[in-house]
Amino acid sequence: MKKIINKPEDFVNEMIEGILLAHPDKLKTPGDDPRILVRADAPVSGRVGIVTGGGSGHLPLFKGYVGQGLCSGVAIGNVFSSPSSQQCFEATKAVNGGAGVLYLYGNYGGDVFNFDLAADLAELEDIETRTVVGRDDVASQPKDNRLERRGVAGLIFAYKAAGAAAERGDSLDKVAVVAEDIVDNTATMGIGLSPTILPTTGSLSFDLPDGEMEIGIGIHGEPGIHRGALEPADAITDRLVGALVEDLELAEGDRVAVLVNGMGATPLEELYVMYRRVHQILSGHGVLINKNYIGEYATSLEMAGASISLLKLNDDRLALLEAPASSPFFLEV
């Protein structure tokens, strides 16, 4: 399997080194551990800090959303592996400006376990924390068990809104409420067309025969809800958006933000073909798109495929999305 890497065991650290060298005005490491990144001006006194974290292999997810109006810091794990509890704790200390720290990350067992341990360590240091986990993947659990859903690309909406709330000076409890509100009103579903190649082993993360697609696949290759012959773009988009409209109970007059996200190896042109169909479907339901994001926001190495996320909007949520934000991988002015 072909990959542009050096030693597999050096892949993550060399990637982080490259990011720091490219963006020294926006990011820094607060100590000796390169797996902890914070915004260049952290900690911001009197402001809530926001720490995210998760495995590598999803750039720009996690580490790409550290910056003004977004997250304050990130703890970085190996490819598809959680950061340690100590790394989560060190990131917490590095962004604590005296107003507490929100943990905001995807709903995966290892991440939950280690961030919970970090919260216990923070309590011993008199750092107040709150936790909100992204759980937008509608294919991973039915709606009546939505608290157990995986967190995928829709987490970007929560980063944006919570980051804006923290930037304007909201309290820790208020920032957590903002993040929870966004999570509760976000739904995502994806499609996979090819597996990823794990740098450490050179092996495929899952098997998907040529000419087949998998609807509802997870960002680590977790099984989806339908596998079959590859369908045209409109049919695929109909499947994804139909599930999201039903899950969010969208009706005529509702407003949404749309994210059409590439999984790592899908041309931008194809994402716009999908967005065209998203717009047609939602318009047919009388649903207005107030905001759209099209590109690679949460990837899975070189997986071919895409996901669509919808966030049900009101005036408050839209204002938070439209607030200024800046990171090496995201800019909203």
Q: What positions carry a catalytic annotation? A: 58, 220
Whether residue 296 contacts residue 261, with contact meaning beta carbons closer than 8 Å, is answered with yes
* Cα 119 to Cα 117: distance, rounded to the nearest angstrom: 5
Whether the CA torsion 324, 296, 130, 173 is positive or negative: it is positive
Whose tokens are 């590109």? That residue is 295
For the chain, helix (H) and strand (E) counts, in that order, are 8, 14
Distance between CA atoms of residues 180 and 56, nearest Å? 24
189 with 138: CB under 8 angstroms?
Answer: yes
The β-bridge partners of 255 are 288, 313
Question: Is 233 exposed, middle or buried (CB count within 10 Å of its CB: 0-12, 13-18, 19+)?
Answer: middle
Q: By 3-state DSSP, what share of the chain in percent is helix, strand and coil, each rounded to 5? A: 35, 25, 40
Whether the Cβ atoms of residue 135 and residue 152 lie closer than 8 Å to each other: no
Check: CB of residue 234 under 8 Å from CB of residue 284. no
With beta carbons less than 8 A apart as the criterion, state whether 205 and 196 touch: yes
The two three-digit tokens of residue 208, written as one number = 């998907």
Helix (H, G, I), strand (E, B) or coil at 241: helix
Type of residue found at 122: A
